[in-house]
């Protein structure tokens, strides 16, 4: 599907068009992106569906701005891109990533992440696979629709690629877990008879567990420092002997630094979310 183009390049084009947007009036004057064109040329768009519509005070001007998210679809009904519009004017487009296939439906939420009383726009795109992958894009309307976070690929493979994680059975229902990219190491403790009342059979199943970490499937917002600036936490499942078998969770925390959200910590948790081991990610 050669019509896909990298997210960053399309966002750059869209953000250039929206760079002067600081008020609702400016948004109304911005030029819309042509329906079927992008940096890569003509796109095979067969249909367009509105997947979200709402009105809100985005700029602190009392007047409410109508925002809408559209999915441009191929003839196969697969989304090619999503376009965000304010008061009928397209601000920017988000392309379907090459390696992360999202369904057309997306969720849009408004939340004051920066603590200034004005909302940021959070766009969640959901994967169509069994892993429940969910991407997140965060924009700040009051600052020209500046992107604060672009988690395009929720698999978070990092520099170690598919070999990023390692799991080994220690015995007694304990599994050693390692993230080779962040150097996070911890022990996952489970009932030794988790997989069979016959302990020998259960432990045989433990020894077959491989390093299987699902993509990010959810996000949490919190204010750990109590300063009104929210952190974003991405949650991934660590899988046991089969996909429904969640044995632990990985939580990656993002903080707002110098106008963008960056990774600052990773925590290995048990299946209920209780922390087991954490590591800071300086400059990651």
pLDDT of residue 61: 86
- Kindly report, residue by residue over 90-122, the tens digit of the pLDDT: 999 999 987 768 999 999 999 999 999 999 999
pTM, entire model: 0.83
In this structure, the answer to whether residues 32 and 143 fall within a common structural domain is yes
pLDDT of residue 157: 67
- Kindly report, residue by residue over 137-154, the tens digit of the pLDDT: 999 999 999 999 999 888
* SS3 of residue 189 by DSSP: strand
Q: How many CB atoms lie within 10 A of CB 281?
A: 17
On whether residue 1 sits in a domain, the answer given is: no
Count structural domains, the chain: 2
On whether residue 90 sits in a domain, the answer given is: yes
Q: What average pLDDT does this structure show over 192-220?
A: 95
pLDDT of residue 156: 76
pLDDT band at residue 159 under the 50/70/90 scheme = low
Give the torsion sign (CA, 115, 117, 123, 124).
positive
In this structure, the answer to whether residues 69 and 105 fall within a common structural domain is yes
pLDDT of residue 155: 79
In this structure, the answer to whether residues 116 and 65 fall within a common structural domain is yes
Q: What is the CATH number of the domain that holds 25?
A: 2.40.128
In this structure, the answer to whether residues 276 and 192 fall within a common structural domain is yes
In this structure, the answer to whether residues 123 and 222 fall within a common structural domain is no
pLDDT band at residue 130 under the 50/70/90 scheme = confident
pLDDT of residue 284: 54
Q: What average pLDDT does this structure show over 76-98?
A: 92
pLDDT band at residue 26 under the 50/70/90 scheme = very low
In this structure, the answer to whether residues 136 and 225 fall within a common structural domain is no
Q: Looking at 125, 151, 177, which one is the last position of a domain?
A: 151
End-to-end CA distance of the chain: give it in Å, rounded. Answer: 32
pLDDT of residue 191: 96
Give the torsion sign (CA, 124, 97, 120, 231).
positive
In this structure, the answer to whether residues 78 and 49 fall within a common structural domain is yes
Q: What is the mean pLDDT of the chain?
A: 85
pLDDT of residue 19: 37
On whether residue 111 sits in a domain, the answer given is: yes
On whether residue 77 sits in a domain, the answer given is: yes
On whether residue 35 sits in a domain, the answer given is: yes
In this structure, the answer to whether residues 211 and 118 fall within a common structural domain is no
In this structure, the answer to whether residues 88 and 25 fall within a common structural domain is yes
| Residue 20 scores a pLDDT above 60 | no
- Kindly report, residue by residue over 219-258, the tens digit of the pLDDT: 999 999 999 999 999 999 999 999 999 999 999 999 999 9
pLDDT of residue 267: 98
On whether residue 2 sits in a domain, the answer given is: no
Question: Which residues constitute the domain of residue 240?
Answer: 158-280
44-to-35, 79, 84, 233, 249 alpha-carbon distances in Å: 10, 10, 19, 36, 40
Q: Looking at 104, 131, 151, which one is the last position of a domain?
A: 151
């Amino acid at each position: 599907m050669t019509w896909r183009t990298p997210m960053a390049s399309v966002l750059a084009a869209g953000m250039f068009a929206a760079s002067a947007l600081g008020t609702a009036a400016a948004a109304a004057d911005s030029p819309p992106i042509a329906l079927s064109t992008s940096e890569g040329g003509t796109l095979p768009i067969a249909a367009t569906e509105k997947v979200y519509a709402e009105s809100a005070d985005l700029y602190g001007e009392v007047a409410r701005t109508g925002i809408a998210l559209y999915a441009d679809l191929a003839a196969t009904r697969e989304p090619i891109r999503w376009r965000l519009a304010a008061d009928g004017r397209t601000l920017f487009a988000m392309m379907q990533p090459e390696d992360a296939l999202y369904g057309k439906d997306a969720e849009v939420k408004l939340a004051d992440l920066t603590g200034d009383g004005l909302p940021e726009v959070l766009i969640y795109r959901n994967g169509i696979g069994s892993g429940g992958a969910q991407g997140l894009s965060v924009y700040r309307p009051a600052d020209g629709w500046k992107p604060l976070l672009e988690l395009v690929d929720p698999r978070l493979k990092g520099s170690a690629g598919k070999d990023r994680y390692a799991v080994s059975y220690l015995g007694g229902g304990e599994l050693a877990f390692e993230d080779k990219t962040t150097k996070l190491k911890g022990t996952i403790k489970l009932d030794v008879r988790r997989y069979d009342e016959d302990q020998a059979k259960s432990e045989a199943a433990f020894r077959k567990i491989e390093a299987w970490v699902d993509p990010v499937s959810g996000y949490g917002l919190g204010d750990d420092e109590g300063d009104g600036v929210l952190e974003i936490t991405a949650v991934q499942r660590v899988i046991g002997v089969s996909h429904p078998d969640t044995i632990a969770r990985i939580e990656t925390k993002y903080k707002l630094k110098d106008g963008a959200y960056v990774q600052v910590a990773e925590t290995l948790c048990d299946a209920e979310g209780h922390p087991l081991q954490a590591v800071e990610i300086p400059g990651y």
